[in-house]
Amino acid sequence: MGRLKGLVALLTGAGRGIGRSIAMAFAREGARVVVTDLELEVARQVAGEIRAQGGVAVCFEMDIRDQARVGEVVSGIVKEFGRLDVLVNNAGVVRSSDFVDIDGDLFDWVVGTNIRGTLFTTQRVVKEMMKRGGGRIVNISSILEEVGTPRQVHYAMTKGGIRSLTRCMAVELAPYNILVNAIAPGIIDTRINKRLLADPKRREETMNRIPLRRPGSPDEVAGAAVFLASSEASYITGLTIFVDGGLTAY
């Protein structure tokens, strides 16, 4: 408790799934949390839950592909709280497709969100962090930055991009005391994996590839995010932490 006390954290895509768990964990650790999502209603619910538990949270509708909106939200945070210490780039989209069927619309949606949206949201926040003498960026990548899998060429390449972005930004922004790291989740029990985990045959096949023999929970990803945002990680930058039950070690 209290590991993030005094910090202001902006989270993207935090209305459900992994982002929601990170928002709740950050609030439990004393951060003031800015819950943003494409869908206002889910962001509002998470901020309400945090406040009901005695935490501090505000919420905004924010599509990370909309640079003007990101700019408004970031300016609003700085005006209200006077600081912005942590950005968690969690918003991301995935839709499986055979390689030969990937079309321009699917490509633009996945790359526009996972890469373009993440890059320009981070750029806007970094300008504030530079003015204030430092900050932390936590990017939510995927094990697919490391391993190959069928029907995910377009998605996996965006997460490979997040790996490069994390390392290059870590090097470029170190002189500004801005630490940039990533988390690569494996198979986590969110709506993204609902169909996979509900199908007994596919579930068993998947679990056989995971040394811990189970999916991860969003809260288990949140633990790594708290660590990377906290003072305990003050000498770590450019790292990806794999939260995957050993899948990539197998």
Ligand X SMILES: NC(=O)c1ccc[n+]([C@@H]2O[C@H](COP(=O)([O-])OP(=O)(O)OC[C@H]3O[C@@H](n4cnc5c(N)ncnc54)[C@H](O)[C@@H]3O)[C@@H](O)[C@H]2O)c1
Is 151 a binder of ligand X (CB under 6 A)? no
Instruction: Pick the closer one to ligand X by CB: 55 or 117.
Output: 117
CB of 192 to ligand X, least distance (A): 4
Sketch the per residue contact string, 11 through 40, with ligand X: x for CB under 6 A, - otherwise: -xx-xxxxx-----------------xxx-
Instruction: Pick the closer one to ligand X by CB: 55 or 92.
Output: 92
User: Is residue 176 among the annotated active site residues?
Assistant: no
Per residue, the 3-state secondary structure of the chain, as one string, reads CCCCCCCEEEECCCCCHHHHHHHHHHHHCCCEEEEEECCHHHHHHHHHHHHHCCCEEEEEECCCCCHHHHHHHHHHHHHHHCCCCEEEECCCCCCCCCHHHCCHHHHHHHHHHHHHHHHHHHHHHHHHHHHHCCEEEEEECCHHHCCCCCCCHHHHHHHHHHHHHHHHHHHHHHHHCEEEEEEEECCECCHHHHHHHHCHHHHHHHHCCCCCCCCECHHHHHHHHHHHHCHHHCCCCCCEEEECCCHHHC
Sketch the per residue contact string, 116 through 145, with ligand X: x for CB under 6 A, - otherwise: -x----------------------x-x---
CB of 183 to ligand X, least distance (A): 8
Sign of CA dihedral 85, 238, 60, 79: positive
CB of 174 to ligand X, least distance (A): 24
24, two tokens? 């709740």
The C-alpha atoms of residue 95 and residue 151 are separated, in whole angstroms, by: 9
Is 193 a binder of ligand X (CB under 6 A)? yes
Q: Is residue 27 a contact partner of residue 21, using CB atoms and an 8 Å limit?
A: no
Is 166 a binder of ligand X (CB under 6 A)? no
Binding segment for ligand X among 27-35, 129-137, 190-198, 203-211 (CB under 6 A)?
190-198
CB of 184 to ligand X, least distance (A): 7
Binding segment for ligand X among 62-70, 127-135, 165-173, 229-237 (CB under 6 A)?
62-70
Catalytic residue among 155, 176, 235, 250: 155
26, two tokens? 């950050």
Instruction: Pick the closer one to ligand X by CB: 5 or 205.
Output: 205
Q: Which of 60, 185, 226, 228 binds ligand X (CB under 6 A)?
A: 185
Q: Which of 8, 11, 42, 110 binds ligand X (CB under 6 A)?
A: 42
Binding segment for ligand X among 49-57, 59-67, 170-178, 233-241 (CB under 6 A)?
59-67
Q: Name the site residues for ligand X (rule: CB under 6 A).
A: 12-13, 15-19, 37-39, 42, 63-65, 90-94, 113, 117, 140, 142, 185, 187-188, 190-193
Catalytically active residues are: 155
